[in-house]
Amino acid sequence: MASATIKLFLVHGDPKRLRTAELSNWNGKAIAGPRSEFDSLLARDESERSGVYFLTGVDPESGRGAVYVGEAESIRDRIKSHLAKDFWNHVVFVVGNENLTKAHVRYLEGRLIEQAKAVGRADMKNAQGSGSRLPESDREDMEIFLEKIHQLLPVLGVEVFVPVATVMMATDDVGILTCEIKGLKATGRLTPNGMVVMAGSEAVLTVRPSTQKYPWSLEMRQRLKADGALVDAGDHLQFARDIEFTSPSAAAAVIHGGQANGLTSWKNAKGRTLKDLESAP
């Protein structure tokens, strides 16, 4: 992805409230804000234009992040129909100039839903996009538009389209780390958001008594099992795919089956702990 300059405008001076984002040399614009400022978002002139929108929050049943991806010729008119949905607490919409047609935004919606499903960071609240066939030149223009959307969304707090592999490549100073316990081995890498445990990594089968006092790791293991990310492999558990955690300690706790210090549990190929690596000059 090419380097870019992003212009952020905090309408009320608060980074959590209404804000706009633009990229240099691009005719698109993103508007973001919490559900509590829904009326203010739709009062903006940009909401009358064609574009795509993202409703993000947490699924009340699974506890996982959730996202609804939609398109509209008029964002303002379409997005009002989603007030009956209670899972979302944040909205972002991206609009272009007057040349962004219904066919264009339908194409964008279809591609975005496809990409979000492939990444698997959040539950999709609409798993099927309308899609649209476009002439080759228009399709290439929309792929460039998609790239710009992907540059803006994480800055606005929407990370459901960021592939785990891409995030892993972003931080390469420490390299591959391992976490071992009872003859089992897990591998991972630091990311800007915490740590990714790689597919094929192993975890203990049973949890420690400490989970009764600190149940977080037990709950996380149960969610990963229910999601098919942590599967039974006989005498241990195994990660079926790359999973990102908020910290090395959170990752180690799931692997160990209870409270663990990630700074000392994770080591590099030379046996140096993450704590030693971070404190090195």
Q: Quote the pTM value.
A: 0.73
Measured torsion, CA atoms of residues 195, 196, 202, 207, in degrees rounded to the nearest 10:
50
Q: Which of 137, 161, 185 is the endpoint of a domain?
A: 161
Domain count, the chain: 2
Query: Does residue 254 lie within any of the structural domains?
Result: yes
**Strands, E, within 83-236: which ranges?**
88-95, 123-124, 177-181, 184-191, 194-197, 202-203, 230-232
Q: Are residues 144 and 207 in the same domain?
A: no
Q: Are residues 176 and 149 in the same domain?
A: no
Q: Are residues 181 and 260 in the same domain?
A: yes
Q: Which two structure tokens, joined as six digits, stand for 240?
A: 């079926």
Domain around 262? 167-279
Query: Does residue 1 lie within any of the structural domains?
Result: no
Q: Are residues 44 and 180 in the same domain?
A: no
pLDDT tens digits along 218-241: 889 998 998 899 999 999 999 999
Q: Are residues 45 and 125 in the same domain?
A: yes
Query: Does residue 213 lie within any of the structural domains?
Result: yes
Q: Are residues 135 and 186 in the same domain?
A: no
pLDDT tens digits along 54-107: 999 988 877 778 999 999 999 999 999 999 888 999 999 999 987 899 999 999
Q: Are residues 151 and 37 in the same domain?
A: yes
